[in-house]
Amino acid sequence: LNVPKLSGFEVLRHLRSGQCRGTPVIIVTSSVSEGDRVAAQTLGAEGYFQKPNDLEAYMELAHVIKRILGKHFR
């Protein structure tokens, strides 16, 4: 969500308003804010995942990505 020049929300808003509106987006962030999670869902993110601290948590992130991509690319 914290990227140079534009916020991640602005990038997501731009994606959803253009040719990429059907592209699945998963937010991976260090933010623990429930408001950020709600905003991402409202703007059309398919998933929201807090950046993991250990390998097991990163493996869970991989499962989330596979599940979301599997719904869109069957």
Query: H helices of 1-74, where?
Result: 8-17, 34-42, 55-72
Q: At 74, is the pLDDT very low, low, confident or very high (cuts 50, 70, 90)?
A: low
CA pair distance 55, 11, nearest whole angstrom: 28
CA pair distance 18, 68, nearest whole angstrom: 20
* pLDDT score of 57: 82
* pLDDT score of 51: 84
* pLDDT score of 52: 80
* pLDDT score of 54: 85
Question: How confident is the model over 40-60, as a mean pLDDT?
Answer: 87
Question: How confident is the model over 20-24, as a mean pLDDT?
Answer: 85
Inter-residue contact 52 to 61 (CB < 8 Å): yes
Stated as kind and residue range, the H or E segment containing 52 is none
